[in-house]
Amino acid sequence: MIILGIESSCDETAASVVQIDGNRFSVKSNIVSSQIPIHSLYGGVVPEIASRAHCEAISNVVESAINESGTSLSDIDAVAVTFAPGLIGSLLVGVGFAKALASSTGKALIPVDHIKAHVAAAHLEHEFDDQYYLALVVSGGHTSLYEVINNNEYTELGSTRDDACGEAFDKVGRLLGLPYPGGAAMDKLAAEAFGSTDTSYISFPSPAVNDDSYDYSFSGLKTAVLNYINNYKQKNKTDVIPEDVKRQIAGSFTKTICEGISKKLENLIIHSKYKGVKKLILAGGVAANSHLRKAVSSVCIKHKIELIVPSIKYCGDNGAMTAAAGYYNYLEGIKADSYLNAYASDEASHIYLNSLKEKRI
């Protein structure tokens, strides 16, 4: 079957046509229109501006995705759309467009949870025979560990208690005066620190919550970096942070994140009923981070777990992952009608999807 995936949960308007044969996905087109240049002026996503930019971009993005796919609208069997979680105004644009397209063409409309879509991104390039695995989603809005059964049943095992990992990367990047969004620039700066023989690392608080849970907390780490920068400026009577100190901060911050995330992941693998799990998916925008990829890979190698991480182009928000997750909903008979709404929270997303499952029965 062929699914058109539409994604607009934050600051990327994206659409993709994906063909699915059995458990093999083939991405026919993948168009992402980023709003980064617009939001960089403000140093963060401005929700109202994001919704307007989605409105302006969505028709062209969907049209390009269909044109570039080598298929036509009539070949497409279903329209999958991210309906939650995310910025409500942004989500509404994709949902409204998908509803109109599906109802005017008589195609099935499939609601997709954005977090499940990030995990499904790992399926685009790997055939999944084994349908039981753990997933770690690290993005601008989430840092969560899940147990996944049958590709579609998610149990949250741990999550962040405050900021998300990507949010922390962006905020620290901003403190260091790096281009928005800070994540990718922090990745490069940390690589310079790790590559240098004379880096001494600053001790920052771990994001791994100090208890038996599998939860994270990034706000203390972010504040510690802010305090370090303020103290440095005061002590040296300057407003400028030298490049070598920026590198040292980026390296220390990234090292602390990688160690904290790995620690909870390892606790999960070793101490619980998840011992013996064979597969882990690392997904979400921050999964593009080269150092985190290496750190999680080391944990997986040590515990003989197969690690699957999407290619960089499928880590950030895109429509192909929406189509892939839409397929798993389709297999379960989860379909929406023209009353489909958008929801900002994870909880509302679960309640709505469960209500659709009940209707299906």
Query: What span, in angstroms and rounded, lies between the C-alpha atoms of 183 and 170?
Result: 5
Structure tokens given for 15: 């659409």
Q: Report in angstroms how near the CB of residue 304 gets to ligand KG4 at its nearest.
A: 27
Identify the bridge partners of residue 32 per DSSP, sorted by sequence position. 14
Query: What span, in angstroms and rounded, lies between the C-alpha atoms of 244 and 192?
Result: 10
Regarding 11 and contact with Zn ion (CB under 5 A), the answer is: no
**Among 76, 288, 308, 323, which residue interacts with ligand KG4 (rule: CB under 6 A)?**
288
Pairing of strands 306-308, 24-34: unpaired
Q: What is the DSSP letter of 355?
A: H
Q: Report in angstroms how near the CB of residue 282 gets to ligand KG4 at its nearest.
A: 12
The alpha carbon of 224 is separated from its chain's Cα centroid by a whole number of angstroms, namely 25
**Among 139, 143, 217, 318, which residue interacts with Zn ion (rule: CB under 5 A)?**
139
Which range in 99-107, 131-139, 200-208, 247-255 contacts Zn ion by CB under 5 A?
Answer: 131-139
3-state secondary structure of 218: coil
Which range in 148-156, 197-205, 235-243, 286-294 contacts ligand KG4 by CB under 6 A?
Answer: 286-294
217 or 322: CB nearest Zn ion: 322
**Among 169, 214, 328, 352, which residue interacts with ligand KG4 (rule: CB under 6 A)?**
169
For residue 341, what are the CA distances in angstroms to 55, 71, 240? 17, 28, 47
Residue 249 CB coordination number (10 Å): 25
Regarding 299 and contact with ligand KG4 (CB under 6 A), the answer is: no
Q: Phi then psi for 216, rounded to 5 degrees?
A: -120, 160
**Among 111, 140, 310, 319, which residue interacts with ligand KG4 (rule: CB under 6 A)?**
140
**Binding to ligand KG4, residues 176-195 (CB under 6 A):** 181-184, 186-187
139 or 151: CB nearest Zn ion: 139
**Among 5, 251, 284, 326, which residue interacts with ligand KG4 (rule: CB under 6 A)?**
284
Contacts with Zn ion, residue ranges (CB under 5 A) = 139, 317
